[in-house]
Chain A
Amino acid sequence: CNDYHFGLEEGEGISELFDCD
């Protein structure tokens, strides 16, 4: 998957995306 653009930054994950932090 070396040409997939990973957009999540350091400290970001699924928990933050679903407002669970």
Chain B
Amino acid sequence: PPQTPVRAAMNTIQHLMNSLAAASDKPSSTLISYFNNCTSNPTNDILERVNHLGKIFKERFAEAVGQGCAEIGFERFKVGVRLTYRVMESMLKSEEQRLSVQNFSKLLNDSAFHKSLLGCSIEVVMATYGRSAFDGISRETDLSFPWILEVFKIKPYDFYKVIESFIKAEPSLTREMIKHLESCEHRIMETLAWQSDSPIFELIRQSRDREGQVDQPEPTSC
């Protein structure tokens, strides 16, 4: 039967919460053993980063929505943390199967990877809750993508890199959520990845250097 917008929103939220019922906001024993297998153990950095970004998220959420909503923001952050650890474990298991390695030191010590994964999880949570609970919220306080990139200081190109693996690693994502993440991908590739401080320009330069210089410079009209 057709649902009212409020019922549909509540069902979406319930689906997310049900799917995370067994997920912890701390690394599982499987994740801890991946951390311990690393050449450089990332456990402390990961836990401290979650703690630090949690404080930042709570402050920015409260700034955007109202100081009385700070705890609501922090609860959403904690849901995102649970999703992050679950996806991280799933990704590492897939990589272990694919590459036959168990030492993911470089990946797990890469703050861009961790922040992007956490950012993607928070984006899923924020998109799930949407804005229906905050009527009258102004355009300046829109918490939908790419707000989370600015809050966590994530480069759009790095965020882009986790999206497909995130979708593969999390089978509970609804079709609507996958479409939302896909729209984030498109926005990054069309616009956000081409901001002046993007790593994409250096990667293009390196790729061109590896392939050898072109003989003729491109005409300026190109």
Contacts and interface: CB of A to CB of B under 8 A. Distances in A.
Contacts of B161: 14, 17-18
B107 interface: yes
A20 B173 CA distance: 27
Nearest to A17: B161
Interface stretch (B5-13, B22-30, B162-170): B162-170
Interface in B165-213: 165, 167-168, 173, 175, 178-179, 182
A2 B48 CA distance: 37
A18 B108 CA distance: 10
The majority secondary structure among interface residues of chain A is loop
B113 interface: yes
Contact of B164 (A8, A19, A20): A8
For chain B, the bracket of interface size reads 20 to 34
A14 B162 contact: yes
Contacts of A20: 104, 106-107, 110
B98 A18 contact: no
Contacts of B113: 14, 18
Given A4-B167, A4-B182, A14 B107 contact: yes
Nearest to B182: A4
Nearest to A8: B164
Q: Across chains A and B, which 6 residue pairs bring their CB atoms closest together, nearest first?
A: A20-B106, A17-B161, A14-B165, A20-B107, A1-B178, A18-B113
